Chains A and B, each alone.
Chain A
Amino acid sequence: MILANNIHKTYGKNSALNGIALHIKKGECYGLLGPNGAGKTTAIGILSTLIPMDKGSAEINGYDVKSSPTDCKKSIGVVPQEIALYEELSGYENLRFWGSLYGLQPNLLAQRIDAILHQVGLTGRKHEKIKTYSGGMKRRVNIAAALLHKPQVLFMDEPTVGIDPQSRNLIFEIVEELREEGMTLVYTTHYMEEAERLCDRIGIIDDGKIIAEGSVKELKTLTKDGEGANITFVYLSDKKYQLLQTKTTRRIGNSVHFYTPKIQEELVEIILKCTRIGLEIRQVDIIKSNLESIFLGLTGKKLRDT
């Protein structure tokens, strides 16, 4: 469905993509996870024919991105990061305009618009101008506009940025429905919980390279460095920290992070050691391995670093 090999892209002296390779199967929801400037939007821009690549090749639904851009465009939908809608037009008028660009007959287009407005929960407000919609409602129309021509592949570039929890949940439900319908999805996000909930496979992108790829379960086996316990003491002197300090501890103020993948087995022993040296414990937090810690372990950066 999506095949990309050795894609390179540079802007002046800055390298945006350094040999990205992707193989996304039909019906798969693939998450592209990375901090700002990692290359997510450039990758989507290239795969969706908008940005020319410097080197490499890519195929979408069997069409070469470079030599058959129009066929590619017909078979894909893109939900951009920006809310690209005309504020002075109603939701219905916006959808009619965007849908008409794909050559849909007026009757069919009208049917699709009604169905999709129902799906995104905006039937009751379809004739109101977009400028009267909330941010979440606009995001839903933004998604609807990309679905009118029933694309085989949908690229979603951070579709839940800056919206209310209700709209976010509705967007999750839409994505889950699309997955069930067998649509291939490429989903970029900053939010771990979204990637964990929605994506079959995740590619972690940093400095223009995919540095790890797999299901959440597979990725969790890649690094256990993030797992452990964080213990906060009432007061921790330097002298007492020296008694606790090992290669797998890290001190932040009155807290110490004990890195260990076997925390459940070792926690009692750690607490006993702390009480033996006279430390008064205020709080204990168990830290499980998640995408955030995996990302931190792989790149040494926080996901939302800018």
Chain B
Amino acid sequence: MIKLVRKDFLLLFNNRRDLLVTFLLPVALASLFALIFGRMGPRGEVNQAGIVQAIIGTAIMMSLFSVAEVGASFLGEKEEGMLKKLLWAPIPKSHILYAKILYANSIVMLQLVIVFLFGNIVFGLELFKNIPAIGMMIMAVSYAGSGFGIFLAAIGKSRKQINAYATLVILTMSGIGGSMVPVNMMPDFMQEVSQFSVNYWGMQGFYDIFLRDTSFFAPHFLKIVLVLFLMGTVLNGIAFILLKRNLR
């Protein structure tokens, strides 16, 4: 399984464009939005909440684009005959799927860590004030995000199709989930709907850490982590069943 994950990373690091889109673009966008939202304080003062909103909102939204690309690349491998060749190798079918889930998880984790580290260095994001909680949230968001990407691969028919609808789905989810505008500024019914997105729970968890100083064991925080892990399990589970059935 590790060999399969290693191969995916090798493919990523050998492709300059993918590398820039996966790691540099989120940093650039997070910086841009942090510069804009960070100046929205009264009388031009630094608005730390705006900076947090910009960095975590962008990081979560961009991570969904990355996992969607992982899902699309899975279908790409199927279209190009690579998946068939993998199935000829003496490895269990399930390892091929676990490897994709693990790779998607790892990509989101790396992406979040890089954007947050940059936010810490450049914009003073208080990254180290609750390391266990941040670590837990990064894992939870990664797991739910990987579920989203693999689910797209399971329901998509082709790479082209995923690329076409993933952007729309992610932008909608990010819009209603609070990645662009805080949820509390939205009408009540939108706040209800937003709870169906990975973005909403991810944002709430990071708000707890960066803005509300919630402790690791606070019920509100633990509930968020639990919901994200549940989302990931359901999405990954359904995708796993669908993909394994169609894997040939």
B15 interface hit (Cβ, 8 Å): yes
The secondary-structure label for the interface of chain A is: loop
> Is B10's CB under 8 angstroms from A93's CB?
yes
* B: contact size bracket: 10 to 19
Interface residues of A in 84-134 (CB under 8 A from B): 84-86, 88-89, 93, 97-98, 100-103, 129
Interface check B85, CB cutoff 8 A: yes
- Check if A97 sits within 8 Å of B3, measured CB to CB: yes
Where chain B touches its partner, the secondary structure class is helix
Q: Does B35 contact A (CB under 8 A)?
A: no
Tell me the chain A residues, 4-18 only, with Cβ under 8 Å from chain B.
Answer: none
B88 at the interface (CB under 8 A from A): yes
In the bound complex, do residue A73 and residue B85 qualify as a contact, i.e. CB atoms below 8 Å apart? no
Q: Are B3 and A86 in contact (CB under 8 A)?
A: no
Tell me if B84 and A84 are in contact (CB < 8 A).
yes
A89 contacts B85, C-beta separation under 8 Å: no
The answer to whether B89 and A101 touch across the interface, beta carbons within 8 angstroms, is yes
Q: Which chain A residues lie closer than 8 Å to B82 at the CB level?
A: 84-86
What is the bound-complex CA distance between A56 and B196, given in angstroms? 49
**How many Å lie between the Cα of A185 and that of B183 in the bound state?**
64
Separation of A80 and B80 alpha carbons in the complex (Å): 11
Q: Which of A36-54 contact B (CB under 8 A)?
A: 48-51
Beyond known contacts A73-B90, A102-B89: 11 more, CB 8 A cutoff? A50-B87, A73-B88, A76-B88, A83-B81, A84-B80, A88-B15, A89-B7, A93-B14, A98-B85, A98-B89, A102-B90
Give me the interface of A with B, judged by CB distance under 8 Å. Answer: 48-51, 70, 73-74, 76, 78, 80-86, 88-89, 93, 97-98, 100-103, 129, 145
Binding site for A on B (CB under 8 A): 3, 7, 10-11, 14-15, 80-82, 84-91, 248
A-B contact pairs, 6 of them (CB 8 A): A50-B87, A73-B90, A82-B81, A88-B14, A88-B15, A101-B91
